[in-house]
Amino acid sequence: MKTKMFCALALAAALMAPAGASALEADWGTKKGDWEMNLSGFSDSYTFKGEDFKYTNTRIQGTLGYFLTDGIETGLILSTRNNTSSSGQSGTVTQNTVSPRLFGAFHFNLPGNFTPFAGLYAEMQNMKNTESGNDWTRDETAFGLMAGVKYFFSEWAALTGQLEGDMRTVKITNGSKTYDVTRFGFMFGISVFF
């Protein structure tokens, strides 16, 4: 068993070594003045504190970021949203086509193909319930943390994985209710740098 594990690790290291060496030679990673465009799929889960209401979303999102330094990026994320499951609520929920999010992130340009990053974001969004006789709108504001890694498979392209979580305030206009909500999500996509 130990021999098989050792052989598997040795094979993985041998396969990864050339990619890591070529990345060092080509100086892959994020650089000052670079633009990043990312297209990704995203899934997240919302929990309303003190309420019997939870739901999950899937979304497609696009990111446009600019590197102020080799490591510091700032930008805008726009996403479409689709409510895929819920509990504790009846009716149809439709959401705005686009939710804007501003972010700032620091990238740790390490030797090799992997570039970890961590950052902060702020988000605003609006929803509308169209259930007959119970129409309401919902506004959300959020501040959160994100962390992830970019895997550069060429000088100008990377696969990106990200985890994030936030605390948000949800205000529902019909009944003037305000809720505290926690949200956790993960994203996987591809980035192009130019």
Specify whether the backbone of 50 is left (phi greater than 0), alpha (psi in -120 to 50) or beta. left
Measured CA to CA, the distance from residue 149 to residue 66 in angstroms comes to: 17
The per-residue pLDDT for 19 is 46
The per-residue pLDDT for 16 is 47
User: pTM of the entire structure?
Assistant: 0.76
pLDDT digits (tens, 9 = 90+) for 101-156: 999 999 999 888 999 999 999 998 877 766 656 677 778 889 999 999 999 999 99
**How many other CB atoms are found less than 10 A from the CB of residue 177?**
12
Tell me the pLDDT band of 46, cut-offs 50, 70 and 90: confident
H/E segment holding residue 82: strand 72-87
- What average pLDDT does the chain have? 80
The per-residue pLDDT for 14 is 45
- Cα–chain center distance at 22: 28
* Contact of 108 with 117, CB cutoff 8 Å: yes
**How many other CB atoms are found less than 10 A from the CB of residue 39?**
13
* Topology (CATH level 3) of domain 29-193: Porin (2.40.160)
Domains in the chain: boundaries: 29-193
